[in-house]
């Protein structure tokens, strides 16, 4: 008779960045800033030692929106501009999941711009990373809502005649409870920021500066302008955060604003509690009676 195998208790698995790779090699142009964002995200997931089955990464359409394909977590490569509603739906359907929504400045602030205020004000507990290259990369270099005035592109041969919008100022005004910015060229800092954003209970926004080396090479422009947010900045002070966001010269990186407020799921839970007290375990009939 074969000897019975004894099962030794196994130490808990500590995952590393490589454990979150899907095996699909990114097809971004060499030098694209999105590599830095992806690497920082692998590291951040490893910091939390998340089981890949507990993470869902949702995106829209664009070069940056290819990101979920390079992770072995659950992923959803959605339609253009609709990453946030999909991510919100995932979180509300299963609040146990860690939801990360990713995409570009075009996906988020042009076609998807109508969804951002509602994600901010509802305080859905997810992290939204916008890889902001101030251009439409995938469609070969047209202006995006964050392109600077005067930018010469294929779609604006005489220079852009549109003022750019300010993602940080908008998210602050829309009521986001965590608003931040990082630069893909500073991977350690970006990694730390993603870790903080995931830790935040509620909607966390990262404007992730991520140069498009092919259609608008900001590696030559941004490093001179990017400065860390001063250490004495009070991240609970909304007006101070706005002042930094609206600085016409400096491109601040770091946490602008952070506030702990009940997330949408927490508010939903408190309604559930009240209803339970009122009607116990609801049947369809008792629900009809409640709304009569
Ligand atoms: C409904 C719809 N309109 C337009 C497009 C074309 N399109 C695909 S990606 C894109 C813009 C991508 O820019 P961004 O979100 O900044 O991503 P990047 O490629 O720069 O990372 C556009 C206009 C589309 N796929 N679907
Ligand atoms: S076109 Fe720009 S954004 Fe797209 S992969 Fe290449 S460098 Fe990155
Ligand atoms: Mg873009």
The CA distances from residue 288 to 188, 231, 262, 279, in Å, are 54, 55, 29, 11
Closest Cα to atom 5, ligand 2: which residue?
28
Q: Which two tokens stand for residue 262?
A: 């009940």
CB proximity list for 244: less than 8 A, separation 6 or greater: 229, 233, 252, 256
Closest-lying ligand 2 atom to the alpha carbon of residue 141? 1
- Pocket flag, ligand 2, residue 216 (CB < 6 Å): no
pLDDT per residue of the chain (292 residues) written in tens, 0 to 9: 555 667 777 767 899 999 999 999 999 999 999 999 999 999 999 999 999 999 999 999 999 999 999 999 999 999 999 999 999 999 999 999 999 999 999 999 999 999 999 999 999 999 999 999 999 999 999 999 999 999 999 999 999 999 999 999 999 999 999 999 999 999 999 999 999 999 999 999 999 999 999 999 999 999 999 999 999 999 999 999 999 999 999 999 999 999 999 999 999 999 888 888 887 877 888 778 877 7
Question: What are the structural domain ranges in the chain?
Answer: 17-261, 264-292
- Pocket flag, ligand 2, residue 136 (CB < 6 Å): no
The CA distances from residue 99 to 96, 128, 203, 219, 284, in Å, are 9, 9, 10, 30, 31
- Pocket flag, ligand 2, residue 28 (CB < 6 Å): yes
Residues in a beta bridge with 103:
130
Closest Cα to atom 2, ligand 2: which residue?
212
Provide the CATH number for the domain formed by 17-261 in this structure.
3.40.50.970
């Amino acid at each position: 008779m074969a000897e019975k195998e004894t099962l030794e208790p196994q130490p808990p698995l500590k995952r590393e960045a490589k454990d979150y790779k899907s095996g699909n090699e990114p097809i971004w142009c060499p030098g694209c800033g999105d590599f830095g964002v992806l690497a920082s995200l692998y590291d951040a997931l490893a910091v939390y030692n998340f089981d890949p089955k507990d993470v869902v990464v949702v995106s829209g359409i664009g070069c940056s929106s290819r990101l979920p394909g390079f992770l072995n977590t659950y992923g959803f490569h959605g339609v253009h501009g609709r990453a946030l509603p999909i991510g919100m739906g995932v979180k509300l359907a299963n609040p146990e999941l860690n939801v990360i929504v990713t995409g570009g400045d075009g996906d988020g602030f042009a076609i998807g711009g109508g969804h951002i205020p509602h994600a901010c004000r509802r305080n859905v507990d997810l992290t939204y990373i916008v890889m902001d290259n101030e251009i439409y990369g995938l469609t070969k270099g047209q202006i995006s809502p964050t392109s600077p005035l005067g930018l010469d592109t294929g779609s604006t041969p005489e220079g852009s005649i549109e003022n750019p919008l300010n993602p940080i100022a908008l998210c602050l005004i829309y009521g986001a409870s965590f608003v931040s910015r990082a630069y893909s060229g500073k991977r350690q800092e970006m990694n730390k920021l993603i870790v903080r954003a995931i830790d935040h209970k509620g909607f966390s926004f990262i404007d992730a500066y991520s140069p498009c080396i092919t259609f608008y090479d900001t590696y030559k422009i941004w490093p001179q302008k990017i400065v860390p947010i001063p250490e004495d900045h009070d991240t609970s002070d909304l007006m101070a955060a706005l002042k930094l966001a609206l600085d016409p010269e400096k491109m601040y990186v770091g946490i602008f604003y952070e506030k702990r407020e009940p997330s949408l799921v927490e508010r939903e839970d408190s309604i559930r509690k009240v209803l339970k007290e009122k009607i116990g375990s609801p049947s369809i009939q008792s629900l009809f009676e409640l709304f009569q």
